[in-house]
Amino acid sequence: MTTDRDALKREAAMAAVAMVQDGMVVGLGTGSTAAFAIDGLIARVRDGLRIVGIPTSERSAQQARAGGLKLTDFSQHQKVDLTIDGADEIARGSLDLVKGLGGALLREKIVAAASQRLVIIADEPKLVPGLGGTVPVPVEVVTFGWETTAKRLARLGANPVLRQAADGQPFRSDGGNLILDCHFGVIADPAQLERDISGVIGVVETGLFIGMAATALVATATGILRLDR
């Protein structure tokens, strides 16, 4: 019986790491759960696994590099065999996701879009009946005119909040953009909302990942729940 959240995240991560095969190009996710997966890949590479990784953030790149994982990029590989990443919410059934509370949504979505298979790892609290009930939708926006972009997002029914970094300054993504955390409440039609947000002038990318995850490995107190779309 596992109850500690980190232990559960690690269990989900190891289940995904076991899916990685020799010769793969692997997308390296971002966040605390994905960090356990990167550690697991480092250990498997030390045991002889031959892979290359494409990181979804500077911090995941740093962790991978420090562990001796060979990194590559889209100039060398335009197709990713398998991406392992976390999520802030996973909708039961559709496996639609909210991602981006760690600020990495743009590179995560680019890597996910280039992936043959996206495997999401999480512990049970992330599994929800409907998206938006427990977290806001992170939306990456350009700095110029962000205040007007926020107003346009509010017209969609959001309460957009400019994300602050620990030092009190506005949070900056790896791409140098800002993030507006958009509180919608439970979202009736996530696919339509994703299209609506994407159409807002000034928006770079949304944290709604619709129809992108193939599998979710959710660690529960009694074992790993595998959900396939």
Restricting to residues 91-150, which ones interact with ligand R5P according to CB under 6 A? 99-105, 108
Q: Does 30 bind ligand R5P (CB under 6 A)?
A: yes
Cα–Cα nearest to 34, from 123, 134, 114, 116:
123
Find out whether 215 is annotated in a ligand binding site: no
Q: Can residue 88 be called a binding residue for ligand R5P (CB under 6 A)?
A: yes
Query: Of the listed 11, 108, 140, 205, which one is catalytic?
Result: 108
**Options 87, 150, 216, 218; binder of ligand R5P; rule CB under 6 A:** 87
124 is catalytic: no
CA distance to 48, 53, 126, per residue, from 42 (Å)? 10, 11, 26
Cα angle for residues 3, 5, 10 (degrees, 5° grid): 105
86 binds ligand R5P (CB under 6 A): yes
| DSSP for residue 126 | G
* Contact between 60 and ligand R5P per CB under 6 A: no
**Where would I find the beta strands (DSSP E) of the chain?**
25-28, 52-55, 82-85, 89-91, 97-98, 118-123, 127-128, 137-141, 159-162, 178-183, 203-206, 208-209, 215-220, 223-228
Instruction: Please provide residue 100's backbone torsions phi and psi, each rounded to the nearest 5 degrees.
Output: 115, 0
Residue closer to ligand R5P, measured from CB, 27 or 100 = 100
Can residue 29 be called a binding residue for ligand R5P (CB under 6 A)?
yes
Q: Is 31 in the site for ligand R5P (CB under 6 A)?
A: yes
- Cα–Cα distance measured from residue 191 to residue 214, given in angstroms and rounded to the nearest whole number: 16
Does residue number 53 form part of the binding site for ligand R5P (CB under 6 A)?
no
Does position 41 interact with ligand R5P (CB under 6 A)? The reply is no
Q: Which amino acid is at 216?
A: A
**Is 202 annotated for ligand binding?**
no
30 labelled binding-site residue: yes
**Which residues sit at the interface with ligand R5P, rule CB under 6 A?**
29-34, 85-88, 99-105, 108
What are the catalytic residues? 108
Binding-site annotation: residue ranges for substrate:
30-33, 85-88, 99-102, 126
